[in-house]
A and B are shown apart, each in its own frame.
Chain A
Amino acid sequence: MVKHRLAAIATTAAWLTVTSLTGQAATLDIGTQGEPASLDPARVNGTVFENTVLGDLYEGLITLGPGGDYLPGVATRWETSPDGRRWTFQLRDDARWSDGAPVTARDFVVAFRRVLDPATASVYASLLYPLHNAEAISRGEAPVDSLGVTAPDPHTLVIELDDNTPWLPSLLAHIVTSPVPAHLIDRYGSHWNRIDHIATNGAFTPESWRSHDHIAAVRNPHFHDADSVALDGVNYYPAEDLQAGLSRFRAGELDIMRDFDPQRYQWLQEHLGDAVHLRNQLATYYYALNSRQGHPTADPRVREALNLALRRRVITGQILEGAVEPTTSLVPEGISHYRPEAMPGLDQPMAQRLARARELLDEAGYGPDHPLELRLRYNSRDDHRRIAVAAAAMWRPLGINVELINAESSVHYSSLAQGDFDVGRASWVADFDDASNFLGILQSGNPKNYGGYHNPRFDRLMQQAAEETSTERRQTLLAQAEQVAMSDYAMAPIYSDASRNLVNPQLEGWQDNAINRHLARWLRFREDADAGQP
């Protein structure tokens, strides 16, 4: 106990020293899980940590509050046509790029077109597919200027959609829908985002970037709300190794570390106390079950049996130290205006579930003479391995022999995409706060539908939901769709992931939220933390 306290005191002392040393110029040091692929919003790779950096550098039409709530960003207000397919945004007239140039509607038009232009090859292009003609443009079948986004005047932006998209605001807070400085693209072309050219319109603007050292950003003096931004700058340090990130956090070199090893949750709580932040996130960890012909998991009875025999609480409680919550639905708790539909039969006592699972396997023709052989693929990482071993052990009493196959990520996902597995580890983190973002991964033809699940009824309900204009009826249709997929045991949900952050207690303004996004403009060091300044 004394040791714990000493470690805690040492850590707090380190923060205090660092804070007071740098106190005059309040600079925030953040450890992220990696580096952004690019500072150009159209060319990011779609990793979670890119949000951390680009979210501070750019401001979209909609922005995020401290609690992850959607607030007007560059747009001050907007109107929607009765059918929900035409959105008109009024832009603020004091929005400026960091070089002083005004942010205009054209900057958004250019940005959205660039994302969809096949020449840009944006990984995130499909996120903008709700926009009119977007998919055709991405396929190279329509000219870029036919995209459903126009700028009738510098402060008005009109977005035309193919379907009713009530979650458009959350999409417009995504980094890929950030504006780009059209005046710099005119001048420098694709080199506009070089560190000596770039201008951004967020609270901070990048000053230097040495790959794998850090990105240094300073307060953007032209930001419309610059007066209320307390920090003078933010440094983003890639800390791919979680243990190393933790050491640097404990040494006071980082004020925020954007992840920690869930298997160390108890230890961290004992040693770092209120610096440890854990909150349910919009993310689901699951096993894809291959429904394609020729795989034993094509039989819904097998899929049901596998789901019945998984002891999710053992996985979350014992392997992951209670850092996450077990789940029996695809859509996680916490998605706005939605109640997830649980898989039927999983609330029964375990003995009953196992008995039922045996019956189902028996019906499907598996037994002692003809044991069920499954290939479970996971990508090499300690926690994935431990969960896979546990799952195999849970299925073993049913007479199921599981072959565990692990591979590095790119091989793993390429095998999943080719359907070369029976059970495959996967997870999904929300791009935007809407149930359709999760349910979409079970739709026929979706490349993320690894298991090749196909049920015309599910697809029809999803299509109806996309066309539905009433938000309430839309949610009902989505819930029905999830019910269909869960009754088919289309996959095996395991747990809802949690966001894990280490935050210097001297920082004010941090609010844990379900989308795990935290703009630095809302953060400040506590006044008394600076009291010891020289």
Chain B
Amino acid sequence: MLTYTAKRLAMAIPTLLIVITVSFFLMRVAPGGPFDGERQLPPEIENNLRAAYHLDEPLPMQYLRYMGNLLQGDFGPSFKYKDFSVTQLILQGFPVSLELGGLAIGLALIIGLPLGVIAALRRNSTVDYMVMGIALGGIAVPNFVIAPILALVFGVLLAWLPAGGWNGGALPNLVLPVIALAIQQIAYIARMMRASMIETLGSHFIRTARAKGLSERQVIWRHALRPSMLPVISYLGPAIAGIITGSVVIEQIFGLPGIGRYFVQGALNRDYTLVMGTVVFYGVLIVLMNLVVDLLYSALDPQIRYDD
């Protein structure tokens, strides 16, 4: 297992290198630059800016400089948020996104898994149709629709909860964004769990368990639940990486200081260093999450072993 983990981590290095290199050059090829905006700059001022950020150097030089700094853990300064380095922006924003995303995934699991199981056990009943109908609704309605409605109803009209703001992470400020983030995940997880549970319940070892005379509860808890989790686990890896790196929609609608917005705004502003910082960060996270998923697989399914 240790060797396997070490091998996987070593393999991640060339992957990340390719991701960084491709992103670096793609970003430079994109039309428009970091200093193109409503206020068109006189050439001498643009030159000064380019010099200040080393953009006047040949591209290979810039690439080497960037990689050199990256090795020392320096993501460089943000072009747009000049009082912060990219590292500072990520370090300030990530805990917020992590907290929101972690709570949302937790909530999604607590609600989504049982819903999926119940729907699978009562297959083709009214309960099943209701659960799956609601889940379909949850997937179909995007969170840029759900979030403002939540803010309007619970923040403005009923005034039970704040309509926005982080407020140092106070509980009332977390409720609406966590729900808005979780709704889609609940729907996905419930649907996936239902499908996988139905498949498991039809398999031979379940028939054997039932033939042994085990109670239905024992069949489900002991034998059906674990293998049914596998597809959900493999979905959760990238889903967690996605959700804990924030959501630009949720952050803008609730005014939260997470890092989701940097992915979008960095790209729109051609804030090269910020885009690269988020790409590297996200890349590392995806690699790690996928590794965790694969290791979890072996814990859940005895047929999967990573020993040499």
Contacts and interface: CB of A to CB of B under 8 A. Distances in A.
A123 B159 contact: no
Contact of A414 (B32, B53, B156): B32
A247 B269 contact: no
A457 interface: no
Contacts of A40: 82-83
B257 A413 contact: no
B49 A123 contact: yes
B251 A212 contact: yes
Of A7, A119, A120, A411, chain B has the most CB atoms within 10 Å of the CB of A411
Contacts of A241: 252-253
B32 A408 contact: yes
Nearest to B163: A251
B261 A122 contact: no
Contacts of B88: 211
A476 to B, nearest CB: 28
A113 to B, nearest CB: 14
A318 B274 CA distance: 40
A139 interface: yes
A253 B39 contact: no
B52 interface: yes
A126 interface: yes
Contact of A253 (B33, B51, B163, B257): B163
Interface stretch (A31-39, A57-65, A301-309): A31-39
Interface stretch (B2-10, B40-48, B115-123): B40-48
Contacts of A194: 83
Contacts of B38: 409, 413, 426-427
A343 interface: no
B270 A247 contact: no
Given A35-B81, A138-B48, A448-B40, A251 B255 contact: no
A244 B93 contact: no
Interface string A125-138: 11000000001001
Q: What is the interface of chain B mostly: helix, strand, loop, or mixed?
A: loop
What are the 8 A-B residue pairs with the smallest beta carbon separation, nearest first?
A410-B32, A251-B163, A213-B257, A121-B52, A414-B36, A411-B32, A414-B32, A212-B257
Contact of A123 (B36, B45, B156): B45
Nearest to A235: B165
Contacts of B51: 118, 121
A38 B148 contact: no
Contacts of B171: none
A89 interface: no
A46 interface: yes
Contacts of A209: 83
B41 to A, nearest CB: 6
Of A40, A123, A214, chain B has the most CB atoms within 10 Å of the CB of A123
Of B33, B83, B257, chain A has the most CB atoms within 10 Å of the CB of B83
A371 interface: no
Contacts of B155: 247-248, 251
B84 A447 contact: no
B141 to A, nearest CB: 17
A411 B156 CA distance: 37
B92 A210 contact: yes
Nearest to B161: A251
Of A10, A125, A211, chain B has the most CB atoms within 10 Å of the CB of A211
Contacts of A410: 32-34, 36-37, 268-270
Contacts of B43: 447
A414 B258 CA distance: 29
A414 B44 contact: no
B164 A248 contact: yes
Interface in B229-257: 251-257
Nearest to B33: A414
A38 B82 CA distance: 5
Contact of A413 (B32, B84, B152): B32
Of B80, B159, B163, chain A has the most CB atoms within 10 Å of the CB of B163
24 contacts: A7-B157, A11-B156, A37-B81, A37-B82, A40-B82, A40-B83, A45-B37, A119-B48, A121-B45, A121-B52, A135-B44, A212-B257, A213-B165, A239-B255, A243-B148, A247-B164, A248-B165, A251-B159, A253-B164, A413-B36, A416-B40, A426-B38, A447-B41, A447-B42
